[in-house]
A and B are shown apart, each in its own frame.
Chain A
Amino acid sequence: MHDGEITIDSISKIEGTAGLRVVVKNGQVADLKFIIKDYRRFYTEAVIGKPMLATPSFVSRICGTCSLAHLFCALEAIEKSQDIENSEQTMLLRRLAYDGLMIRDHALHLYFFVLPDILGVDSILDIPDDRAQLGSSQAKLGHQLLEDSFVIKKIGSDLSTAIAGAAIHALLPTVGGFLRLPDQAQFPDLVRRLEEIREPVLRGIETFAKMEDRLLRNSDYLCLRNESRYDFLEGEVVNNTGKRVSEEEFDHFLKKVIIPYSQAEGYVFSDTHEDYLVGALARMNLNADLLNARTKKDVKKYLSLFPSHNIYHNNLAQAIEILQCVDEAAEILKTIKIVEEKPITRPPQGGVGVGVIEAPRGTLYHLAEVDNEGMISRYDVIVPTAQNQINIENDLKKYFSENLNKDREILRLEAEKIIRAYDPCMSCATNFLKIDWREE
């Protein structure tokens, strides 16, 4: 393109509202801004003075799609502040509900948002339903994958609902356990349905592995790692340079960066000041050796692609994680024996707790400070999309710098695809009062 501007006011097929503005002068990218536009809701301030027991449910409203991630991270932070150690059964049930979240959330992104890019159509609405219209093999594949997406998403939601009471803003998980335990009689049918979606999930993995788009940049990666299994809920924070810190030290690991034009702050590593990426690609780059044995066997030929510096492989990594969650959930459902137990309760005590978990889009941090009366006196949240914000911008700068010879419309479409590959969530990124401007 010639000198001028590309402005995307509102990027489609993502969660929330974000825009992009690129200025080209003298044949070079003079300015590029990835702008998160959702308005802040100040939830970390809204919980101050509220009872700790009510807080997880409230902060689950930070996000519609990964509500369960915020709920579980808040529960962990508050439980640690109260020195509550959950039973093995509680943690197994949380893993089950969380597998359901990952299946549903990744499938929404991959099939509803990314698949149209692969098929060269604007939307899943453009994929024909009528088999008579399915001329090309591409159309047949699109139709098949859309059908697959419905059953995959549905079992994800149903699994979370069976364990946690609802897939969005779940009612049953509480501090120290569950308000009501799931009915084990549902489990055989859930196992059957999980087994049935393995073939569709593998078809999806093959499709996203064949995606030819590439954007390579030597980025850093960060995620949780639990040496005993591929885990989203427990572990230490690790990065690709070999650093390893406890969950409690996580926020010291990062340096907050003010982005004046964006509603969300960004982050870099505090020691190197380098940008980094969180999410499925980071997890697959750092934890692929820990995948479920059955998953690993069936995706063996794709694992050689990791570690990968191609951001589009975040899509493939999510597709593999769907299978991981299907296989893990089926194993737990087959072996768990639910015993009656009540949530662990104890008189409130003053304290600080940190929860760090892997949300679908990457590492999520909640800090809860509780006073002696059990009321929240300080709360902090760091979300994946805020952490990825600088990485997204730097990827886009690289892409535009190397492709300015292309047509303006191609640049616009490709930029949207790159942003979409990160699966960003603006609703998550804009809930907090992170910056005290009097100090900065």
Chain B
Amino acid sequence: MAEKKRKLVVGWFSFTCSEDSTILFTELLNDHLKEWKKMIEFRHVKVLKSHNRLENLDVAFVEGAISSEKQKEELQRIRDNSKYLVAVGACACSGQPSASRNQFVSEEINFKVFWFLEHFDYSQKVRKLSDFVKVDDEVLGCPMDPDLFLKVLEKYLKICTTEK
């Protein structure tokens, strides 16, 4: 049977972080946007578009650590709507440096931080993505290693877009 190529459907999401990998992603568009538009449907990329749909994603690229129950639920929704989920950047892969507050030992600091945790919907600890959902791949780096990102993208282009 002949192989038929379809577009890879991707989403890009950010949780608690500096969004450095998002910025690097927008830099990669300088060289790759034209080529990617032929192969990829960017279905949910809030930094680039207003009309986003969270449904039937092939790959969700997720940046940032998880700071709250609300973020945890949102991450689960992304997982439920994606075939594959890729953690992008240090905060998503390890929690750090966004999880710095997990290591606070000073009573003075913790007392002040505690007020925020109580009054805004913070979780007690900041967590990496794999603490809550299955992560299929990691793109390490702070910000992400762009070459590694391109390799992972290539991998899912091969896996997802060739229908037999």
Chain A contributes a number of interface residues (CB within 8 A of B) equal to 47
**Nearest 5 Cβ contacts at the A-B interface:** A64-B20, A123-B49, A46-B100, A39-B67, A150-B30
Q: Which residues of A contact B20 (CB under 8 A)?
A: 61, 63-65, 67, 168-169
Question: Interface segment, B11-19, B128-136, B152-160?
Answer: B11-19
A220 adjacent to chain B (CB < 8 Å): no
- A42-B100, A433-B116 known; A427 and B19 CB under 8 Å? yes
In B19-44, which residues have CB < 8 Å from any A CB? 19-24, 26-27, 29-31, 33-34, 37, 42
Contact A45 B101, CB 8 Å, known A39-B68, A125-B37, A150-B31: yes
A residues less than 8 Å from B142 (CB atoms): 61, 169
Chain B residues contacting A112 (CB-CB under 8 Å) are: 26, 29, 47-48
Instruction: Kindly state whether residue A303 has any CB partner on chain B within 8 Å.
Output: no
Closest to B19 in A: A64
From A12-20, A238-246, A311-319, A340-348, the one touching the partner chain is: A12-20
Q: Nearest CB to that of A413 among chain B residues?
A: B50
Interface string of A46-65 (1 = CB under 8 A from B): 10100000000010011111
- Annotate A21-55 by CB proximity to B: 1 below 8 A, 0 otherwise: 00000000000000000111111011010000000
Q: A12-B47, A13-B49, A108-B26 are in contact. Are A45 and B17 (CB under 8 A)?
A: no
List B residues 104-125 near A (Cβ within 8 Å). 104, 106, 109, 112-113, 115-116, 119-120, 122
Contact-residue size bin, chain B (C-beta under 8 Å from the other chain): 35 or more
The reply to whether B18 and A42 form a contact with Cβ atoms under 8 Å apart is no
Contact mask A397-440 → B, CB, 8 Å, 1/0? 00000000000000000001000000000010000010011100
Query: Considering only CB atoms, which chain A residue lies closest to B106 in the complex?
Result: A48
In this assembly, does B51 line the interface, its C-beta being within 8 Å of a C-beta of chain A? Answer: yes
**Set A61, A104, A150: member contacting B18, Cβ < 8 A:** A61
Q: Does B22 lie within 8 Å of A64, measured CB to CB?
A: yes
Pair B27/A39 contact, Cβ less than 8 Å: no
B89: shortest Cβ distance to chain A, in Å?
9
The complex places the Cα of A150 from the Cα of B17 at a distance, in Å, of 25
Asked if A85 is at the interface (CB within 8 A of a chain B CB), the reply is: no
A168 in contact with B143 given A40-B116, A42-B113 (CB within 8 Å): yes
B71 on the A face (CB < 8 A): yes
Interface centre among A58, A153, A168 (most CB of B within 10 A): A168
In the complex, which residue of chain A has the Cβ closest to the Cβ of B63?
A64
Instruction: Verify if B98 is at the interface (C-beta below 8 Å from A).
Output: yes
Q: In the complex the two chains form, what is the Cα distance from A15 to B64 in whole Å?
A: 13
Q: Could you tell me the distance in whole angstroms from the C-beta of B95 to the nearest C-beta in chain A?
A: 11
B162 at interface by CB-CB < 8 Å: no
Contact of B24 among A10, A39, A124, A168 (CB under 8 A): A168
User: Are the C-beta atoms of A16 and B19 separated by less than 8 Å?
Assistant: yes
In Å, the complex CA distance between A42 and B23 comes to: 22
Instruction: Tell me if A122 is interfacial: C-beta within 8 Å of chain B.
Output: yes
Selected A-B contacts with CB under 8 Å, 16 pairs: A16-B14, A17-B14, A39-B68, A41-B100, A42-B104, A42-B113, A48-B109, A61-B18, A64-B18, A122-B51, A123-B51, A125-B45, A154-B27, A167-B27, A433-B112, A433-B116
With A41-B98, A129-B37 given, is the CB distance from A433 to B113 under 8 Å?
yes
* Residue among A40, A43, A64 with most chain B CB within 10 A: A64
Contact residues in B for A17 (Cβ distance below 8 Å) = 14
A174 interface residue, CB < 8 Å from B? Answer: no
Q: How far is the CB of A55 from chain B (nearest CB, A)?
A: 12
Q: Note all chain A residues with C-beta closer than 8 A to B52.
A: 12
Residue among A46, A122, A123 making CB contact with B97, cutoff 8 Å: A46
- Let me know if B18 and A63 touch, CB within 8 A: yes
Residue contact A61 to B97, C-beta cutoff 8 Å: yes
Q: Does A157 contact B (CB under 8 A)?
A: yes
B53 within 8 A of A: no
Chain B residue numbers with a CB within 8 Å of A14 are 47
* Inter-chain contacts of B120 with A (CB < 8 A): 39, 263
Q: How far is the CB of B144 from chain A (nearest CB, A)?
A: 10
Please indicate the chain A residues that have their CB under 8 angstroms from the CB of B33 in the complex: 124, 150
B5 at interface, CB cutoff 8 A: no
